[in-house]
Structure 1
Amino acid sequence: MGLGRNFRRWGMWAFIAVMVLSPHAASADTITPERITAALSKLEALAEGVVADGGVPGLAIGVVHGDKVVFVKGFGHREAGKPEAVDADTVFQIASLSKPVSATIVAALVSEGIVSWDAKIVDLDPAFRLSEPYPTSELTVRDLFSHRSGLPGTAGDDLEDIGYDRAEILRRLRFVSPSSSFRAGYSYSNFGLTEGAVAAAKPTGKPWEEIAEEKLYRPLGMASTSSRHSDFIKHANRAALHVKIDGVWAAKVKRDPDAQAPAGGVSSTVRDLSQWVRLVLGNGVYAGETLIKADALDQTHVPLMARGRNPVSGGQSFYGLGWNVEFGRHGLSWGHAGAFSVGARTLVTLFPEEKLGIVIVANAFSTGVPEGLSESFADLIFDGKVEKDWVKAWDDTYASLFGPAVAAAKATYAAPPSPARPAGPASAYKGRYFNDFIGDAVVSGEGDGLVLKVGPGGARSYSLEHFDRDMFLTYPDAETPDAPSGVSFVLGPNGKASAMTVEFLDGNHLGTLARVGD
């Protein structure tokens, strides 16, 4: 699965070996209309139960079989504690489900001969740089859409968090050291894929958002779908984002993902997304018309990078171009998950051999509800019964992924040393700091305390609480307001800080800034 902030090229023999070893899927002939109807009835009951039990405040589901949308429905509420219901036309932020949508848009450009999957980024967008010359000169659209550029997975996410726009984030990726050799490792990168999409659109002379409308949303009649956040907030019928606070779902945080729109910034409805699923299952044919040539679209589903096994179902999983390609309990599937840690969960799963697809969008994080419902639906379709409580299995997986991280952050700074060493005078820490990646950071006084300001023009402000000597704490994550992060200073011979390390910006070892000026 792939998460928004918000898992390597295989030869044909490996591809065949996996297909031979994968479980035998039911043939398309066995998926009768009667079986579909029975499965949908039980899926609907499962969804209603999940919402009634508080699994999520609201969700919506779309199902496609053959070239027909056979189910679209909403469940629960757009915002917890308010009466407005989710329906098939409620607009959700779909997070990283944007990635396969964007891969389809690039496939349309490839189909028209505007760009190639193997076009070099240096030719499309000459200003873009990786940290090393050789990968920069060889990097292609295919590399970025399969997450094999060498960019670390979180590269740029931290800059987005502190307010930088897309152009500036992409420019600063040149300062990030690779996490693996070029094309040798898989590292899921929001801003890597974003650069791939933006570069692919360059030959048109139009912005990505306009190309997305022109090549996909308008031709499919996806009138409620956009890659602009401003369009999302114009909809009255839109879902809020939810996180759990003291065990209760609360709509506390909003998310503007425009900087990484191709990777995580699409908003849509299950009615609209079902039309996209029709196109993909139809190999580029929609309503009898070829909108994307099959050879351009087929490339997105070639397994290029190994992701290991599905953490719950155990199937072998690979990444193509914006798509997970999995050989699991029910044979070949294509899919992608999405999440915003501030309150969104989404999923699409397609069984291409059976021309069957399901898309699920939910307005909460963390939850395994989309995967749980999708797995249950697949069991009903292929086996006639649900094997296990898949919602619980996936809920437990998400809890194991994200709970310990928050607990560890709290434990690290659970209590200062006793006795804590006193801080130096405020003047020791106040001043301007800089590095090429983060840019300017200013520490100033506010009342009796210190404040750190980072981002363009000091866009983000963080209060600093003294912890021990030259270590301070701040609380940067809105969705985990009680999870601390350290800000440490190194004092020079003159008694003033010569450098500062901001832990929440140091994921790629670029969080240390040197004092400048005085």
Structure 2
Amino acid sequence: MRLDRNLFHLIWAVAAAVALWPHAASAEPISAERVAAALTKLEALAQGAVDDGGVPGLAIAVVHDDEVVFLKGFGHREAGKPEAVDADTVFQIASLSKPVSATVVAALVSDGVVSWDSKIADLDPAFRLADPYPASELTIRDLFSHRSGLPGTAGDDLEDIGYDRATILHRLRFVPPSSSFRAGYSYSNFGLTEGAVAAARPTGKPWEDIAEEKLYRPLGMASTSSRHADFVQHADRAALHVRVDGAWAARIKRDPDAQSPAGGVSSTARDLAQWVRLLLGDGVYAGKTLIAADALEQTHVPLMTRGKNPVSGGESFYGLGWNIEFGRHGLSWGHAGAFSVGARTLVTIFPREKLGIVILANAFPTGVPEGLSDSFADLVFEGSVEKDWIEAWNGIYVGLFGPMVETAKAAYARPPSPPTPSRPAGAYVGRYASDFIGDAVVSGAGDGLVLKLGPSGARTYSLAHFDGDRFVTFPDAETPDRPAGVSFAVGPDGKASAITIDFLDDNHMGTLRRAPD
């Protein structure tokens, strides 16, 4: 299981708890002088975070009163190499793509191409959910607010094993809902992706072209794209970093094209500052109305509650691709992004104060973006930093998945003594299939077994015997020491009739039946 499947939901659940700290917002207007004083200290904090090894590199943009008042890079694009991060370094922004994509759809709404309440059944008649009624009533608004009933990780597992967007969206029909339609919030990368793709369909153009046409090009965001191929063509781009033996290392690459509207945008601090200007201008940019204010305003209406803060009891909400918070410094809009293979991003906007900050980092796990954003808000609203927010957020991020990984390790630390022997390889070898996962092929390899998954067996996993008909594999490139079980159900004929793949079983969709020979 890739760790970033539920990562963004977990991040925001925690973010809500911190953002809703009980504190009255300042009643005083935010002057340019106060912002300038805060920026001097923010710059020092950012440089300190890089110097202390908090992240290899950072880029920050701050907008106030329709002006980009801060724009700077810190550190390096890749650890151990001399190339510096600057305002034009291109980062993969992960789930910060969601509010960007919501802005693109708002432009389509503004142009009358669709409405937020356009039905998916009308826009994309081939798309289905497991239950007929939600499928017939589902709207763009439902998918961008994560209230479709789709489980949060639905489709992420198929992306892990190499399937493309069209295949993944088609197979969502086989996933049972995690809640009643419009009754529960479940953060879904591929649900939002379908909402965006469907919104673009009346234009006859791919989503990636529409994003460029409706947002990137009008704002002069020349380094921004919704295609991974464009990202890798930039010489000035940030590598993804993870911790290896306590040091940052660029080990893994991530192609998020399958979920591009939800997590596949790449951009720079300079470009995203122009986007923030548009948002703070209620759709007006450089004196010209690009998006009708009412179409854009809909993205910031609280639609789904994400739970109560255990400290203050305050509520946190989700709109259309945005978090809406009523926190320590009043109303804010925001969104975090993360790839567990090495990216962290954040936008925080205080609309009443016409103030916004974007922070891009090339590492995971780290709480540096939230720490700097919270510190900057304290400096602007209070004049001083309330606490060491970077340290507090680092603790949260480092601890997000540690217990889960350790539990998995403990489960497979050693087999029972003595273990039950496995059956001959021939009992397990064969082809298995399900409507959702597709084909799985098990073959013999020396003393063990090999499992192949995905289109044309795109992913290969070695299976080592653990106990009886249970085997173990290590499916995650970013956590190579994290085990997962693979079990066979054996029938009276001595042959396996089914295989259950634990790292594909989040939504109880990981069992495949043996296919006829």
TM-score range, shorter chain: over 0.9
User: Structure 1 residue 448: deviation in Å?
Assistant: 2.7
Q: How does 1:179-218 map to 2 (within 5 A)?
A: 179-218=178-217
The structural deviation recorded for 1:314 is 7.5
Q: How does 1:473-484 map to 2 (within 5 A)?
A: 473-484=472-483
* Seq. identity, %: 78
What is the correspondence of 1:269-308 to structure 2 with a 5 Å cutoff?
269-308=268-307
Tell me: CA distance 1:207–1:454, structure 2 relative to 1, closer, same or farther (3 Å): same
Any conservation in 1 of the 2:29–2:353 contact (CA below 8 Å)? no
Give SS of 1:103's match. Answer: helix
- The corresponding residue for 1:14 is none
Letter in 1 for 2:501: V
Superposed, 1:351-390 pairs within 5 Å as 351-390=350-389
Find the counterpart in structure 1 of residue 16 from structure 2: none
Residue in 1 aligned with 2:126? 127
Normalising by the residue count of structure 1, what TM-score does the alignment of the two structures yield?
Answer: 0.95
Paired AA for residue 228 in structure 1: R
Contact 1:439 1:455 in 2 (8 A): yes
Deviations 1:410-468 (A, max 9, x none): 11111111111111111111100000000000001223321100001101000101111
Contact 2:5-2:156 within 8 A present in 1 as well: no
Greater Cα offset, 239-248 or 324-333: 239-248
Contact 2:465 2:472 in 1 (8 A): yes
CA drift at 1:493: 1.1
CA distance in 2, matches of 1:295, 1:126: 28
Q: Say whether the 8 Å CA contact 2:61–2:357 is kept in structure 1.
A: yes
What is the correspondence of 1:458-477 to structure 2 with a 5 Å cutoff? 458-477=457-476
Are residue 25 (structure 1) and residue 28 (structure 2) matched? no
Partner secondary structure for residue 457 of structure 1 = helix
Shift of 1:399: 2.4
Match of 2:173 in 1: 174
Which residue in 1 is equivalent to 2:14?
A: none
Confirm or deny: 8 A CA contact 1:488 1:501 kept in the other structure: yes
Structure 1 residue 26: Cα displacement: 2.4
SS, match of residue 503 in structure 2: helix
Q: How does 1:209-288 map to 2 (within 5 A)?
A: 209-288=208-287
- Structure 2 CA distance, aligned partners of 1:442 and 1:310? 46
**Distance apart, 1:37 and its partner CA:** 1.2
Equivalents in 2 of 1:286, 1:452: separation in Å? Answer: 53
Structure 1, unmatched stretches of 5+, are 8-20
Q: Is the 8 A contact 2:5 2:153 kept in 1?
A: no
RMSD: 1.6
Segment of structure 1 superposing worse, 236-245 or 259-268: 236-245
Partners of 2:69 and 2:105 lie apart in 1 by 28
1:24 CA displacement: 3.7
Task: Note the alpha carbon deviations across 1:49-87, whole angstroms, 9 max, x for none.
Answer: 111111111111000001000011111111111111111
Per the alignment, residue 117 of structure 2 pairs with 118
Tell me by how many angstroms 1:282 deviates.
0.5
- Shift in Å, 1:146: 0.1
Give the distance between the partners of 1:484 and 1:505, measured in 2 at CA.
13
Deviations 1:27-59 (A, max 9, x none): 4x6322221111001001001111111111111
Q: Judge conservation of contact 2:24–2:329 (CA < 8 Å) in 1.
A: yes
Please state how far the C-alpha of 1:469 moved relative to its aligned partner: 1.1
1:268 partner letter: S
Over 3 Å counting, the alpha-carbon distance change for 1:145 and 1:192 in structure 2 is same
For the structure 1 residues 186 and 91, does the alpha-carbon distance in structure 2 shift closer, same or farther, using more than 3 Å as the test? same
Give the structure 2 partner of residue 457 of structure 1. 456
Mapped partners of 1:447, 1:4: distance in 2: 33
CA contact (8 A) 1:164 1:456 kept: yes
The answer for the alignment partner of 1:339 in structure 2 is 338
Structure 2 distance, partners of 1:397, 1:185, is: 25
Q: 1:141 to 1:23 in 2, by over 3 A?
A: same
Whether contact under 8 Å (2:432, 2:499) holds in the other structure is yes
Q: From the superposition, tell whether residues 78 and 312 of structure 1 become closer, same or farther in structure 2 (CA, over 3 Å).
A: farther
Q: Give the partner amino acid of 2:393.
A: W
Rounded Cα–Cα distance in structure 1 between residues aligned with 2:22 and 2:480? 44
Whether the aligned pair in 2 keeps the contact of 1:312 and 1:393 (CA below 8 Å) is no
SS of the residue corresponding to residue 37 of structure 1 reads: helix
Change (3 A) 1:481 1:107: same
Q: Evaluate the alpha carbon distance shift between residue 36 and residue 26 of structure 1 in structure 2; reply closer, same or farther with a 3 A threshold.
A: same
Which segment is superposed worse, 497-506 or 445-454? 445-454
Return the letter of the residue paired with 2:456.
Answer: G
The aligned length equals: 503
Q: Kindly indicate whether the alpha-carbon contact (under 8 Å) linking 1:465 and 1:472 is maintained by their aligned counterparts in 2.
A: yes
* Equivalent residues of 1:94, 1:265 under 8 A apart: yes
- 2:446 aligns with 447
Q: 1:314 to 1:277 in 2, by over 3 A?
A: farther
CA deviations on 1:494-517 (whole Å, 9 max, x unpaired) are: 111110000000010000000112
Secondary structure at the residue paired with 2:365?
coil
Deviation at 1:308, TM superposition (A): 2.1
Paired residue type of 1:169: I
Equivalent residue number for residue 12 of structure 1: none
Secondary structure in 2 matching 1:332: strand
Q: Deviations over 1:190-241 (max 9, x none)?
A: 0000000000000000000000000000000000000000000000110010
Alpha carbons of structure 1 residues 314 and 225: separation in structure 2 relative to 1, 3 Å:
farther
Deviation at 1:311, TM superposition (A): 7.8
**1:292-327 deviation per Cα after TM superposition (whole angstroms, max 9, x unaligned):** 000000000000000124689975310000000000
* TM-score normalised by the chain length of structure 2: 0.95
SS at match of 1:365: coil
Q: 1:418-433 alignment to 2 at 5 Å? A: 418-433=417-432
User: 1:366: how far off?
Assistant: 1.0
